Structure 1
Amino acid sequence: MKTGDLIVYTSADPVLQIAAHEDIIPLEELYAICEYVREITLEDPYMIGRIIARPYIGTPGHFTRTSNRHDYALDPFGQTTLDHLKDAGYDVIAIGKINDIYNGQGITEYVRTKSNMDGVDQLLTVMGKDFRGLSFLNLVDFDALFGHRRDVKGYAEAIEAFDARIPEILAALEDDDLLLITADHGNDPTFPGTDHTREYVPLLAYSKKMAGRGKLDQGKFADIGATVSDNFRVAATQNGRSFLDELD
């Protein structure tokens, strides 16, 4: 804070993160810096996956990240399920950092969030709208606040808090809606270090049309995209296998 310098650091994804105190470097200036860094790292030999603006507030010993984070990602290297949905005239509503992850590609509308619970609130608001397509929510607190911080207690409490909101989500589902809950990677809060961890992630699927409880075989993350494409009868990517017919 004395020098007003940026804090620049990397992690294994690969991402490059640029942190600044909001009272020292205004948000718009931090965003402009990140946009410039994004422009000069788009191609080899760098081709960094994401440039992340990491604003924070507080005093020494009591710094806190704010919800004003912004990710500057590479464009997807090809057409995604989101593109196929959008091209077919469906709504693709991104909630949380989904819009940043896909760099806006394939998104028809996006909503920013401040926390897990705000994310659930925004999801319920979207579910209350008359839309036809996909609503895609990312709950970032599990990763940013608890997984990377190796905060076991906080992680457990966050899971409990989300679990308590699931009845609201189920109640808001229409008869022909399909709910999929999963994770994009592991982040074990009990594991040494601060990076993502390699493990199987859960997948929970629910629809009011389902007759009972079933179990899917172990699959790939790309299977979810294939299933979404199958559900809407749009073109699929070359990756993944739909499990839509296995949901009953």
Structure 2
Amino acid sequence: MNRAVLIVLDSVGAGELPDAADYGDVGSNTLKNIYKNKNNFSLPNLENLGLLNIDGFEDIKKNDSYIGSIAKCNEQSKGKDTTTGHWEISGIILDKPFPTYPDGFPDDLIKEFEKRVGRKTIGNCVASGTEIIKELGKEHVETGSLIVYTSADSVFQIAAHEEVVPLDELYNICKIARELLQGEHSVGRVIARPFIGTEGNYTRTGNRRDFSLLPPSDTMLDYVKNSDMDVFAIGKIEDIFVNKGITRSNHTHNNEEGIEATIETIKEDFKGLIFTNLVDFDMIYGHRNNIDGYAGALKYFDDKLPEIIESLKNDDILIITADHGCDPTTKSTDHSREYIPLLFYGKNIKENNNLGILDSFADIGKTILELLRIDNKIAGNSVAGNILR
């Protein structure tokens, strides 16, 4: 193998993990519950790769044969957020979760933040991003105070109207917050949440940016880059890894842009890794409990999958997975603690090959590095020998 194409379907979980009760996520199964809630729902191209032959989906539909190698992965890290999931995929397992703030951030932290950025804040609570701009948008526009809020995940989110706080200023404010939120307050991500519109009609824009912690050690990306290969980051991958281990990035804003950028990059001539995050499943549909929208986004990706596969070279491997769950059929609007699906496909990959349950998301990164013949010290166990013909 000379290239790996790794596509993360953000939040497309594959069933509650054994410790889901500790996170309030019993009953969550993002993918399966969408199938159950949508009549005659199908994803024929993903199913042809073996999606519904993954353990736990037997009662929906099971193909007699499929063209990929499949599994689902357990999560060893504590947490259920984007950074934790992507880091583990890439070989970093966290011993303790990032801090969360169910009662809002401490007053002294907020005061120091206000002092550093030169603006007051409002909110400072756990909230839905769409609801809090409805509630506080008018006050923000009138006063210029920043809307600060969090969720069940380890995030410090800053919402601001683009005509009140220009994007450059908002991004700089987020950088200041990122510098402040270290040590005991090392949240996984600081997120810029710009919006536009007028009272009663505020809408978040595609100019969101994530400001993550720097990975504490080298990841799969670093090993690929340090082997004189390319690492192409598509979507919010550059933010999640703070550009560490990346040779080129394309910060696409939605699934459509991300899929097209992935196809175009596959057509280029290089060796190494394409690492894509498709964010719409999570950001637009999962967190808003929009079952129809989530199902439609899955259908859109499935319809584009043949074009992705057609673009692959003979020595490429396509890997499709997720980073956590976000079941739109449950009462919760937060991420869910779930297994992630794992599909391998390529000319040199075994067909009709079910690996069962893998120990860690990190097995994905470890497998990619072995397929690319790169010595490494990241966490995980490679399954390369089990998927190659």
Shorter-chain TM band = over 0.9
173-182 vs 202-211, greater mean Cα deviation: 202-211
> Is 1:15 the equivalent of 2:155?
yes
Q: CA offset at residue 217 of structure 1?
A: 2.1
Secondary structure, aligned partner of 1:186: coil
Cα-to-partner distance string for 1:101-134 (whole Å, 9 max, x where unaligned): 0011111110011210110011011111111100
Taking the TM superposition and a 5 Å limit, the aligned residue runs for 1:19-168 are: 19-42=159-182, 44-168=183-307
Cα-to-partner distance string for 1:117-159 (whole Å, 9 max, x where unaligned): 1100110111111111000000000110011111111000000
Q: Which residue, out of 331, 335, 350, partners 1:196?
A: 335
Paired with 1:51 and 1:193, the residues of 2 have a C-alpha distance of: 22
63-72 vs 176-185, greater mean Cα deviation: 63-72
Q: CA offset at residue 211 of structure 1?
A: 4.8
Q: Given the two structures, how large is their TM-score scaled by the length of structure 2?
A: 0.62
Paired with 1:221 and 1:246, the residues of 2 have a C-alpha distance of: 16
Paired with 1:164 and 1:114, the residues of 2 have a C-alpha distance of: 19
Give the length in aligned residue pairs.
247
Paired with 1:28 and 1:238, the residues of 2 have a C-alpha distance of: 36
Q: CA offset at residue 210 of structure 1?
A: 2.9
Aligned residues with identical type, % of pairs = 49
Q: Is the 8 A contact 1:21 1:55 kept in 2?
A: yes
Paired with 2:377 and 2:213, the residues of 1 have a C-alpha distance of: 19
Q: Is the 8 A contact 2:234 2:276 kept in 1?
A: yes
Dislocated runs of 4+, deviation >3 Å: none
> Is 1:245 the equivalent of 2:385?
yes
Q: Is the 8 A contact 2:220 2:378 kept in 1?
A: no
Cα-to-partner distance string for 1:167-197 (whole Å, 9 max, x where unaligned): 0000000001000000000111111222100
Amino acid at match of 2:145: D
Paired with 1:97 and 1:77, the residues of 2 have a C-alpha distance of: 19
Secondary structure, aligned partner of 2:206: coil
Q: Is the 8 A contact 1:76 1:102 kept in 2?
A: yes
Q: CA offset at residue 45 of structure 1?
A: 2.2
Secondary structure, aligned partner of 1:178: strand
Paired with 1:118 and 1:237, the residues of 2 have a C-alpha distance of: 34
Paired with 2:200 and 2:258, the residues of 1 have a C-alpha distance of: 28
- Structure 1 unaligned spans of 5+: none
Paired with 2:364 and 2:329, the residues of 1 have a C-alpha distance of: 28
Secondary structure, aligned partner of 1:155: helix
Amino acid at match of 2:293: G
Secondary structure, aligned partner of 1:158: helix
Amino acid at match of 1:94: A
Secondary structure, aligned partner of 2:233: strand
Q: Is the 8 A contact 1:99 1:107 kept in 2?
A: yes
Q: CA RMSD in A?
A: 1.2
Q: Given the two structures, how large is their TM-score scaled by the length of structure 1?
A: 0.96
> Is 1:217 the equivalent of 2:364?
no
